[in-house]
């Protein structure tokens, strides 16, 4: 067995098995999802993080590219109890260090009790505990306020379904999962995906019926260009947002956001609608939350901790969700969100 080491911010260094060689560092987080490892690993919201799977066996149905949410693996490293050969080979080809044969239950419990923590990983021949500890030391010096959007967004505008008959949607790509565009296209929308730092002139060239801010990684304060677009268009063009998009829109409209202790990541987060009192299960992946909604009304909350899961304003024509209504992987209880946001628009007839 080729050894690997995981050095944690709480002072522990854990021995493991190397499954994909390399050295890496980042914020250690966990997901409770028991399926959808391909979708999770290609979710841009995991950029700069080390992803721990709480489910013990990852890879039991292989690796299929059609399930990917983007064109690459985004976590900087992967930790699991048992990774199959398929997944290990995929991560090796992607250059993403991965380890297994360690107690992930203990890791997850530690994160839940102490909060998300930085870690360093060293895997492969001739690596030592000191190598992982050196990665951790370098990680402690990293700034959390980075231009992370440049690593997950498209470089040039891209159009999906150009011949569609539905509303024209300007999708601001802060790290959008592929399923968001697909869910809009399935409803015959024309989706104009724009880079995370798109300007007012870029949006004007699209002339959208709806401005949609996507999910993405990290602190919403890192996405000031998207917030500026919200400020520019609120009241003139309907606005929608998912995950980071909810946070960006809230900040732009007088609200506030804060970092959570260990975030919500998994496919079994219960959300209650305050109007109908209905509870639905949702897929989530975020480490920040809205602490003050500003000009928006809280319409849905997380059953576990009462954090806002839905914000709306009829007057301003805004609908946002903290969870992923497109839910890949996960339940499909909330797909009606896309019908609701497109319902705010006036369908083009020209």
* pLDDT mean over 21-41: 95
Percent of the chain with pLDDT over 90: 92
The CATH number of the domain covering residues in 149-343: 3.40.50.880
pTM of this structure: 0.95
* Residue 145 pLDDT level (bands cut at 50, 70, 90): low
Question: Is residue 210 part of an annotated ligand binding site?
Answer: no
List, by residue number, the catalytic residues.
243, 324, 326
* pLDDT mean over 3-16: 96
Question: Is residue 287 part of an annotated ligand binding site?
Answer: yes
* Residue 142 pLDDT level (bands cut at 50, 70, 90): low
pLDDT at 350 exceeding the cut of 80: no
Q: Cβ atoms within 10 A of the Cβ of 103, count?
A: 11
Residue with tokens 């004007």: 204
pLDDT at 290 exceeding the cut of 60: yes
Is the distance from CB of 255 to CB of 241 less than 8 angstroms? no
pLDDT at 23 exceeding the cut of 80: yes
- The reported pLDDT for the residue numbered 330 is 74
- The reported pLDDT for the residue numbered 141 is 59
Q: What are the sequence ranges of the domains in the chain?
A: 3-140, 149-343
pLDDT at 40 exceeding the cut of 70: yes
Give me the numbers of helices (H) and strands (E) for the chain, helices first please. Answer: 10, 19
pLDDT at 276 exceeding the cut of 70: yes
Question: Is residue 214 part of an annotated ligand binding site?
Answer: no
pLDDT at 347 exceeding the cut of 50: no
pLDDT at 134 exceeding the cut of 80: yes
Question: 3.40.190.10, 3.50.30.20, 3.20.20.10, 3.90.700.10: which CATH number matches 3-140?
Answer: 3.50.30.20
* Residue 139 pLDDT level (bands cut at 50, 70, 90): confident
- The reported pLDDT for the residue numbered 144 is 62
- The reported pLDDT for the residue numbered 143 is 56
Question: Is residue 60 part of an annotated ligand binding site?
Answer: no
Is the distance from CB of 161 to CB of 191 less than 8 angstroms? yes
Question: Tens digit of pLDDT for each residue in 195-209?
Answer: 999 999 999 999 999
Cross-strand pairs, 288: 259
- The reported pLDDT for the residue numbered 52 is 97
Question: Is residue 247 part of an annotated ligand binding site?
Answer: yes
From CA 149, how far away is CA 315, in angstroms rounded?
30
Question: Tens digit of pLDDT for each residue in 298-343?
Answer: 999 999 999 999 999 999 999 999 999 998 777 777 889 999 999 9
* pLDDT mean over 290-295: 98
Question: Is residue 245 part of an annotated ligand binding site?
Answer: no
* DSSP E strand stretches across the chain: 3-8, 13-20, 22-31, 49-53, 57-58, 77-79, 82-83, 98-100, 117-123, 158-160, 168-173, 190-195, 210-213, 239-242, 256-273, 279-292, 297-302, 308-313, 318-321
Beta 168-173 vs 210-213: how paired, if at all? parallel
* pLDDT mean over 242-254: 98
Average pLDDT, the chain: 94
């Amino acid at each position: 067995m080729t050894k690997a080491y995981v050095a944690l911010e709480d002072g522990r260094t854990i021995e493991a098995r190397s499954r994909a060689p390399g050295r890496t560092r980042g914020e250690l987080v966990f997901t409770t999802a028991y399926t959808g490892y391909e979708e999770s690993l290609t979710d841009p919201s995991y950029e700069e993080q080390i992803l721990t799977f709480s489910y013990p066996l990852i890879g039991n149905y292989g690796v299929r590219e059609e399930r990917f949410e983007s064109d690459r693996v985004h976590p900087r490293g992967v930790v699991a109890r048992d990774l199959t050969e398929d997944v290990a080979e995929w991560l090796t080809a992607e250059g993403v260090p991965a380890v297994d044969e360690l107690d992930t239950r203990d890791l997850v419990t530690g994160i839940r009790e102490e909060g998300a923590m930085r870690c360093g990983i060293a895997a492969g021949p001739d690596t030592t505990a000191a190598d992982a500890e050196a990665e951790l030391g370098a990680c402690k010096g990293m700034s959390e306020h980075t231009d992370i959007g440049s690593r997950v967004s498209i470089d040039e505008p891209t159009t999906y379904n150009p011949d569609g008959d539905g509303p024209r949607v300007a999708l601001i790509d802060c790290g959008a999962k592929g399923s968001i565009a697909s869910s809009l296209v399935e409803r015959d929308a024309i989706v104009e995906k724009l880079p995370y730092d798109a300007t007012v002139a870029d949006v004007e060239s699209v002339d959208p019926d709806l401005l949609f801010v996507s999910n993405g990684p990290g602190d919403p304060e890192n996405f000031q260009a998207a917030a500026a677009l919200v400020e520019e268009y609120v009241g003139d063009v309907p606005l929608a947002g998912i995950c980071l998009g909810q946070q960006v829109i809230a900040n732009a409209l007088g609200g506030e956001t804060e970092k959570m202790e260990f975030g919500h990541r998994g496919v079994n987060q219960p959300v209650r609608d305050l109007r109908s009192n209905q509870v639905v299960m949702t897929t989530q992946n975020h480490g920040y939350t809205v602490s003050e909604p500003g000009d928006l009304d809280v319409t849905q909350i997380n059953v576990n901790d009462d954090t806002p899961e839905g914000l709306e304003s009829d007057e301003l024509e805004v609908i946002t969700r903290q969870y992923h209504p497109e839910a890949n992987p996960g339940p499909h209880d909330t797909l009606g969100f896309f019908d609701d946001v497109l319902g705010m628009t006036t369908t083009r007839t020209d």
